[in-house]
């Protein structure tokens, strides 16, 4: 049977249908094509015709025209809509007209960089011009680096390499910076939170160096669909951006299914595992010969699914080599082989992490299956877009896990399909991040006293660094005076300069990663199960003074969840609602968080059972950050139902639900925020729930939440009310052993008593 017949079969399969929560058919859309612009360089026209491109899509033409008119633009169109050509056209035309011009292409991953270099090189070969395109990253050989510095027209790199390998050595890159015409930032939606806040400051440093060498490059950004692509691009680049979102690319008909595994324990609210259900679904599809991509959220799950699916392939008499995995940790040669196999059809099924989510060319697939919600709407559409590149019907199936965020999405499809509420946030004024890059900038070039790196306070910050003997002020300039190389001490992935290094003792003491100091007690305490890139490690010892965690690989049936004691002290209220306006008061401000990890729970994978407890002995830590908090007046709890213990259980249940659902609205990871309930908060002596950014200085998450908090509270209410469990479960208010027997009912009661008319 073909794919259309399979879809018809699935629509009449009673067992399959009883698990479907939403079956949406997105109609095919014709292309909106336009002729090449008259002024397009003849060699480019000819090259495009040789590639079989006889017209442009409307968004490609708009991008070309606006960039050539000198505008900074952000292009927002779906996966496989030709965004690459949108920015390649103006860049290549500039290089044909002015061979001395240069461009920097920034991509968030190495794999995407390699793919884009190949795409650009194909166009170079057809154009027949000496346009030299190179990848510059940590794998680039030293002898090639010299060539890139002197002769590279297009330098393809990533933010980390720009930060550490290019800007501090700008005197070796004079040819690039004197002639820099364009900066391309692809997948701009991926630069949010800490990473985006760092990137914005890296671009401030890049701007200083360009001004020093006399260039003023334009920005061309591209993004997946989020609620605020223009705002995000403008914050990152600090330029006014023109939004181009009139997608002209065609789209085949797509069937999009929300699949919720059946409940296997109604009392605990547990469902059949994602892995089991994905295997059951793929078993139905494999015999059709359709090409399938399966996205899993971890490397471990990729390997488990791969093992099971190869067993199924054997049962179906399908060669096992047609079923492949794809993830970080595979050798580049192996990844290229898999990409080729997908394009030529020799591979039928690939199980991947989100490594294949971005725009790597893997040809034309028929079915995309997600083993769990990918974490954001934009990622879901990116993964779905990997199927349906032909002008034929495609199928996407999202298989939910028991996690609250998965269950909310699966039971509220309107949230997903009707309007994207996700807003990406950054805070380039975060003080630790800002100070880190101010030091890097001073190392790269002396600061003038009249120079503005940030709003209003640049000179005050520079004077502070003088007082700390980091800078020296002479003749109205600030000079770097330390021996250290500041960029080496700064990771773009966290806010603080101090990190705990994670060392794998089972692999010749290799460093496998690092974690910020504030998160380390929760993540890498003694006997923790630390999950890195999908692999499980047991933490043998956290050497707190040395800032090192020693781990070894394990195959565990559980993960650990730290038990922490948190105290919050309100330092300053920056915003507040009208008193009693909604039946509660909300505030946004600065807080000091004192936190100490005292123990941990062992939680079984999939079932979320508590397998036991352990003790942790670590010092208390303090962090200053930003927070939103809700204070509930005592009058709200007048009913006899609300004993003090019941109020506490309700706040705990509500905090659990909010922690899992807030990321839906402010586009962050669940680990980026912390939600702390207090029956009697020290600041007000009232029942209170605090939400704070888990980064020193804050990164704008709770500031955004302050303006949309009622949407999050309403979502919590809808989710709690809609969950089929009786007294709470891991999918809503948390296991009853943790939230208490009144956790769900009390949380619902609190939400019913306040005004949630959004």
Per-residue pLDDT tens over the stretch 457-468: 899 999 999 999
Q: Which pair of tokens denotes residue 35?
A: 């002729």
State the CATH architecture for 33-244: 3-Layer(aba) Sandwich (3.40)
> What is the C-alpha to C-alpha distance for residues 386 and 377, in angstroms, rounded to an integer?
15
pLDDT for 502 beyond 70: yes
pLDDT for 336 beyond 60: yes
The whole-number average pLDDT for the span 602-631 is 86
Of 372, 83, 417, whose CA–CA distance to 229 is shortest?
83
3-state class (DSSP) for residue 138: coil
Of 300, 441, 475, 288, whose CA–CA distance to 367 is shortest?
288
pLDDT in tens, 210-223: 999 999 999 999 98
The average confidence (pLDDT) of the chain is: 89
Q: Looking at residue 273, what is its pLDDT?
A: 87
Cβ neighbours of residue 419 under 8 Å, at least 6 residues apart?
A: none
Q: Looking at residue 714, what is its pLDDT?
A: 94
pLDDT for 422 beyond 80: no
Of 662, 656, 688, 474, whose CA–CA distance to 561 is shortest?
656
Whole-model pTM: value is 0.85
Q: Which pair of tokens denotes residue 718?
A: 């809808």
Ranges 11-25, 410-424, 604-618, most confident: 11-25
Q: Looking at residue 360, what is its pLDDT?
A: 66
Residue scoring higher pLDDT (315 or 514): 315
Lookup result for tokens 């015709």: 49
Cβ neighbours of residue 145 under 8 Å, at least 6 residues apart?
A: 136
Percent of the chain having pLDDT more than 90? 55
CB 658 within 8 A of CB 735: no
> What is the C-alpha to C-alpha distance for residues 1 and 389, in angstroms, rounded to an integer?
20
Cβ neighbours of residue 558 under 8 Å, at least 6 residues apart?
A: 529, 602, 603, 604, 605, 611
pLDDT in tens, 627-676: 999 999 999 998 889 998 999 999 999 999 999 999 988 888 888 899 99
How is the chain split into domains, by residue range? 3-20+252-417, 33-244, 431-479, 563-612+620-753
> What is the C-alpha to C-alpha distance for residues 44 and 25, in angstroms, rounded to an integer?
38
pLDDT for 111 beyond 70: no
For the domain made up of 3-20+252-417, the CATH class stated in words is alpha beta
DSSP 164: I
Cβ neighbours of residue 562 under 8 Å, at least 6 residues apart?
A: 521, 522, 523, 525, 528, 597, 599, 600, 616
- CA 469-427-73 angle, to 5 degrees, is 115
Q: Which pair of tokens denotes residue 287?
A: 């015999």
CB 731 within 8 A of CB 404: yes
Residue scoring higher pLDDT (112 or 753): 753
Of 552, 461, 463, whose CA–CA distance to 502 is shortest?
552
Using DSSP bridges, classify how beta strands 510-516 and 499-504 pair: parallel, antiparallel or unpaired. antiparallel
pLDDT for 396 beyond 90: yes
Q: Looking at residue 264, what is its pLDDT?
A: 82
Q: Which pair of tokens denotes residue 355?
A: 């490594």
Q: Looking at residue 608, what is its pLDDT?
A: 63
Q: With DSSP H G I counted as helix, E B as strand and the rest as coil, what are the percentages for the chain, rounded to 5?
A: 40, 25, 35
pLDDT in tens, 274-291: 999 999 999 999 998 899
CB 163 within 8 A of CB 492: yes
Q: Which long-range contacts (CB under 8 A, 24 or more apart) does 567-570 make?
A: 567/593, 567/594, 567/595, 567/682, 568/592, 568/593, 568/594, 568/627, 568/676, 568/678, 568/681, 568/682, 568/683, 568/690, 568/692, 569/594, 569/682, 569/683, 570/683
pLDDT in tens, 714-753: 999 999 998 888 888 888 998 777 777 899 999 999 999 9
Lowest mean pLDDT among 197-211, 287-301, 350-364, 570-584: 350-364
pLDDT for 578 beyond 90: no
Q: Looking at residue 391, what is its pLDDT?
A: 60
Q: 672 phi and psi, to 5 degrees?
A: -85, -15
The whole-number average pLDDT for the span 502-525 is 82
Cα dihedral 660, 663, 668, 674 sign = negative
Q: How many other CB atoms sit within 10 Å of the CB of residue 756?
A: 17
pLDDT for 317 beyond 90: yes
DSSP 356: G
> What is the C-alpha to C-alpha distance for residues 550 and 500, in angstroms, rounded to an integer?
10
pLDDT in tens, 51-92: 999 999 999 999 999 999 999 999 998 877 888 999 999 999
Q: Looking at residue 351, what is its pLDDT?
A: 92
The whole-number average pLDDT for the span 698-722 is 92
> What is the C-alpha to C-alpha distance for residues 445 and 431, in angstroms, rounded to an integer?
21
Q: Where are the beta strands (DSSP E) in 616-722?
A: 621-631, 673-678, 688-693
3-state class (DSSP) for residue 349: strand
Q: Looking at residue 409, what is its pLDDT?
A: 92
Q: Looking at residue 361, what is its pLDDT?
A: 66
Lowest mean pLDDT among 113-122, 232-241, 384-393, 661-670: 384-393
The whole-number average pLDDT for the span 98-116 is 86
| Residues facing residue 690 across a β-bridge | 629, 676
pLDDT for 375 beyond 70: yes
Asked whether the domain spanning 33-244 has the same topology as the one spanning 3-20+252-417, the reply is yes
> What is the C-alpha to C-alpha distance for residues 333 and 111, in angstroms, rounded to an integer?
12
Cβ neighbours of residue 185 under 8 Å, at least 6 residues apart?
A: 106, 191, 219, 220, 221, 222, 233, 236, 237
Residue scoring higher pLDDT (312 or 531): 312
Q: Which helix (H) or strand (E) holds 112?
A: helix 110-127
> What is the C-alpha to C-alpha distance for residues 659 and 654, in angstroms, rounded to an integer?
9
């Amino acid at each position: 049977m073909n794919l259309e017949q399979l879809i018809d079969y699935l629509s009449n399969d009673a067992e399959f249908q009883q698990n479907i929560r939403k079956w949406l058919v997105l109609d095919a859309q014709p292309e909106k094509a336009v002729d090449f612009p008259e002024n397009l360089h003849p060699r480019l026209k000819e090259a495009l015709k040789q590639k079989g491109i006889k017209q442009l899509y409307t968004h490609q033409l708009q991008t070309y025209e606006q960039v050539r008119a000198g505008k900074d633009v952000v292009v927002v169109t779906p996966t496989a809509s030709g965004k690459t050509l949108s920015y390649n056209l103006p860049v290549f035309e500039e290089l044909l007209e002015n061979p001395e011009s240069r461009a920097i292409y920034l991509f968030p991953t190495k794999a995407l960089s390699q793919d884009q270099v190949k795409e650009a090189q194909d166009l170079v070969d057809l154009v027949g011009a000496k346009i030299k395109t190179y990848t510059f990253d940590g794998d680039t050989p030293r002898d090639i680096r010299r060539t890139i510095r002197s002769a590279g027209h297009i330098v393809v790199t990533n933010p980390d390499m720009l930060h550490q390998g290019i800007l501090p050595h700008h005197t070796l890159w004079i040819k690039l910076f004197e002639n820099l015409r364009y900066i391309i930032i692809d997948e701009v939606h991926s630069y949010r939170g800490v990473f985006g806040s760092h990137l914005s400051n890296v671009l401030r440093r890049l701007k200083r160096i360009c001004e020093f060498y006399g260039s003023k490059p334009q920005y061309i950004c591209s993004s997946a669909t989020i609620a605020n692509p223009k705002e995000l691009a403008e914050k990152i680049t600090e330029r006014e951006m023109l939004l181009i979102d009139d997608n002209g690319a065609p789209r085949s008909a797509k069937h999009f299914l929300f699949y919720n595994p059946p409940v296997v324990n109604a009392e605990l609210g547990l469902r059949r595992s994602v892995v089991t259900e994905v295997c059951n679904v793929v078993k139905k599809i494999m015999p059709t010969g359709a090409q399938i991509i399966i996205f899993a959220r971890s490397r471990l799950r990729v390997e488990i699914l791969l093992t099971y699916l190869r067993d199924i392939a054997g049962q179906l008499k399908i060669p096992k080599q047609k079923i492949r995995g794809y993830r970080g940790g595979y050798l580049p040669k192996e990844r290229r082989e898999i990409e080729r196999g997908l394009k030529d059809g020799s591979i039928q099924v690939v199980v991947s992490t989100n490594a294949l989510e971005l725009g790597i060319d893997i040809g034309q697939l028929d079915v995309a299956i997600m083993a769990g919600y990918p974490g954001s709407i934009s990622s879901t559409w990116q993964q779905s877009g990997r199927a349906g590149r032909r002008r034929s019907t495609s199928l996407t199936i999202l298989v939910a896990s028991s996690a609250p965020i998965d269950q909310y999405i699966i039971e509220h499809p309107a949230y997903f399909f009707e309007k994207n509420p996700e807003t990406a946030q950054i805070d380039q004024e975060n003080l630790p991040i800002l100070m880190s890059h101010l030091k890097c900038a001073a190392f790269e070039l002396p600061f003038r006293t009249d120079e503005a790196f940030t709003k209003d306070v640049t000179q005050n910050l520079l004077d502070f660094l003088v007082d700390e003997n980091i800078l020296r002020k002479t003749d109205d300039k600030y000079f770097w005076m330390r021996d250290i190389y500041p960029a080496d001490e700064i990771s773009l992935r966290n806010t603080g300069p101090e990190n705990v290094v994670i060392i794998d003792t089972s692999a010749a003491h290799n460093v496998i990663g690092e974690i910020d100091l504030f998160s380390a007690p929760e993540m890498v305490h003694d006997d923790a199960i630390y999950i890195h890139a999908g692999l499980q490690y047991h933490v043998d010892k956290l050497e707190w003074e040395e800032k090192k965690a020693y781990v070894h690989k394990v195959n565990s049936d559980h993960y650990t969840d730290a038990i922490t004691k948190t105290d919050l002290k309100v330092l300053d209220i920056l915003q507040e609602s009208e008193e009693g306006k909604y039946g509660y008061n909300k505030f946004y401000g600065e807080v000091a968080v004192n936190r100490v990890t005292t123990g941990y729970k062992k939680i079984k994978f999939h079932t979320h059972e508590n397998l036991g407890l352990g003790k942790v002995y670590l010092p208390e830590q303090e962090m200053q950050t930003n927070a939103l908090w809700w204070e509930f007046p005592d009058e709200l709890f007048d009913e006899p139902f609300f004993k003090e213990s019941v109020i506490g259980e309700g706040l705990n249940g509500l905090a659990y639900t909010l922690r899992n659902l807030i990321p839906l609205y402010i586009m962050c990871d669940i680990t980026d925020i912390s939600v702390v309930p207090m029956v009697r908060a020290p600041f007000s002596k009232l029942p209170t729930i605090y939400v704070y950014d888990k980064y020193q200085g804050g990164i704008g998450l709770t500031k955004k939440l302050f303006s949309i908090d009622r949407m999050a509270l309403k979502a919590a209410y809808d989710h709690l009310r809609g969950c089929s469990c009786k007294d709470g479960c891991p999918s809503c208010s948390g296991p009853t052993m943790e939230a208490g027997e009144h956790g769900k009912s009390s949380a619902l009661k609190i939400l019913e008593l306040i005004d949630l008319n959004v």
